[in-house]
Amino acid sequence: MRIARLLTLSTLAFATPTVAAPPSAKRAMTKPADTKPTHTKPYDIEAETRAWHQKRIANLTSENGWLSLVGLHWLKEGDNRFGSGADNDLVFPAGTPANIGTLTRKSGKVTLTVQPGVSLTRAGQPFMGGELGDTEGENDVLTLGTLRFYVIRRGDRLGIRVKDPEAQARKQFHGIPTWPVSAAWRIEGRFEPAASPRKMQVPNVLGTVEEMPSPGTIVFQVNGQEYRLDPVQEPGADQFFIIFADQTNRSESYGAGRFLYADPPKDGKVVLDFNRAHNPPCAFSPYATCPLPPPQNRLKLRVEAGEKRYGDH
């Protein structure tokens, strides 16, 4: 399973029109270039935040989004029988065959033996059995009716993640409450790069700790008080990924913290737009494997921006 792709406290400034420099004496005999002042459209934080959140909701509620999760099963070494029958090692959702087959974990690899009469497909083609990949790509996903399942790797663990676009969580989704958009929570911070490549210890809901590369520290201020956040960089991603907690987690926002993405530094500055702070997948499903905020990212501050709690989570 694959664990996105985070300006000052004052109001945003309009950009100054660019004026062409006067032509040099050497060029005075020629026809001057046709120049016009350029204008930068002011940043509309309400419209930009609304567009971002609409895209987020579209991804969350898509057929393959987090709301489609219906199962997560960890594999033991050796054979793991699976299907909807209660006598299986891995019990799949009702409506699937009582015995789908056997998943065998051996030497860090997983192979599938399909029960006769069960029709599985992979990448649109019939799948009769064999080794399964764990990159969570299209060629790793098996389909059985509306069900989609595939191998995920979490450290030394190997598991089977199960999705269904007909999941009740997806059908019953009713939107995510948010705080009002505020320019005061779009904050420009100072980036302090790490002196050398470093790894950050990031805990997760599985009770384990993962080492993730951290490029440095973002230092910012709220009401004159200085705060710090350490981002990480996910494989293949340009943006910084920030896993943070704040004092609204006790009541208004998701108890285990929130996520925030930010563009990499420009001229030593990073913009933290907390209006885009959002709930991790674990806020919507018990079958996600979310990272948790490391100790240094637990802010002694109420971040009253971004997404609030979803449902009773």
DSSP, collapsed to helix, strand or coil, labels residue 172 as coil
The whole domain housing 75 covers 66-170
- The answer to the question of residue 9 being in a domain is no
Say if residues 243 and 294 touch (Cβ distance below 8 Å). yes
Q: Are residues 189 and 57 in the same domain?
A: yes
* Cβ–Cβ < 8 Å for 313, 254: yes
Name the residue among 145, 218, 153 with its Cα closest to residue 187: 218
Let me know if residue 234 belongs to a domain: yes
Query: pTM of the prediction?
Result: 0.83
170 within 8 A of 67, measured Cβ to Cβ = yes
Q: What are 114-155's pLDDT values in tens digits?
A: 999 999 999 999 999 999 998 777 788 999 999 999 999 998
In this predicted structure, what is the pLDDT of residue 205? 95
Instruction: Determine, yes or no, domain membership for 26.
Output: no
Based on the domain organization, do 70 and 165 belong to the same domain? yes
The tokens describing 255, both together, are 């108890």
- Angle (CA) 141-145-151 rounded to 5° is 25
Same domain, 185 and 145: no
CATH code: domain of residue 98:
2.60.200.20
What are the structure tokens assigned to 195, written together? 């002196």
Within-domain flag for 101: yes
pLDDT at 197: 86
Average pLDDT rounded to a whole number, residues 250-269: 96
Residues 242/262, Cβ–Cβ less than 8 Å? yes
Strands (E), the chain: 69-74, 78-83, 90-91, 101-106, 109-114, 120-122, 125-127, 129-132, 142-144, 147-154, 157-163, 186-203, 209-222, 225-229, 240-244, 258-262, 269-273
Give 84-121 pLDDT, tens digit per residue: 999 999 999 999 999 999 999 999 999 999 999 999 99
Confirm whether 8 is domain-assigned.
no
What are the distances in angstroms from CA 238 to CA 54, 261, 270, 306? Answer: 22, 10, 13, 22
Q: How many domains does the chain have?
A: 2
Residue 205 lies in a domain: yes
Same-domain pairing of 178 and 293: yes
Q: Grade residue 311 by pLDDT with cuts at 50, 70 and 90.
A: confident
Q: What is the pLDDT of residues 41-76, one digit of tens each?
A: 778 999 999 999 999 999 999 999 999 999 999 999
Name the average pLDDT for the chain: 88
> 140 near 132, Cβ under 8 Å?
yes
**Domain check: are 163 and 219 in the same one?**
no
Residue ending a domain, choose from 170, 204, 239: 170
Q: What is the pLDDT of residue 235?
A: 86
Distance CA 150, CA 128 (A): 15
**211 has pLDDT over 90:** yes
Answer yes or no: do 178 and 51 share one domain.
yes
Q: How far is CA 287 from the centre of its chain?
A: 15
Q: Are residues 179 and 148 in the same domain?
A: no
Cα–Cα distance measured from residue 287 to residue 205, given in angstroms and rounded to the nearest whole number: 10
Q: Which residues are 203's β-sheet partners?
A: 209
93 and 215 assigned to the same domain: no
Residue 67's contacts (CB-CB under 8 Å, 6 or more residues apart) are 60, 61, 167, 169, 170, 173, 284, 285
Out of 155, 170, 185, a domain closes at 170
Residue 178 lies in a domain: yes
Residue 132 inside a domain? The answer is: yes
Name which of 152, 140, 179, 225 is nearest 45 in CA terms.
179
Q: Is 183 in the same domain as 262?
A: yes
Whether residue 267 has pLDDT greater than 50: yes
Q: Which of 27-36, 69-78, 125-134, 277-286 has the lowest mean pLDDT?
A: 27-36
| Co-location of 72 and 155 in the same domain | yes
Please tell me whether residues 113 and 254 are part of one structural domain: no
Question: Token pair for residue 65?
Answer: 């989004």
Q: Cα-Cα-Cα-Cα dihedral of 259, 260, 261, 265, to 10°?
A: -130
32 pLDDT higher than 60: no
Q: Pick from 129, 154, 170: which residue ends a domain?
A: 170
Whether residue 9 has pLDDT greater than 70: no
User: Are 53 and 72 in a shared domain?
Assistant: no
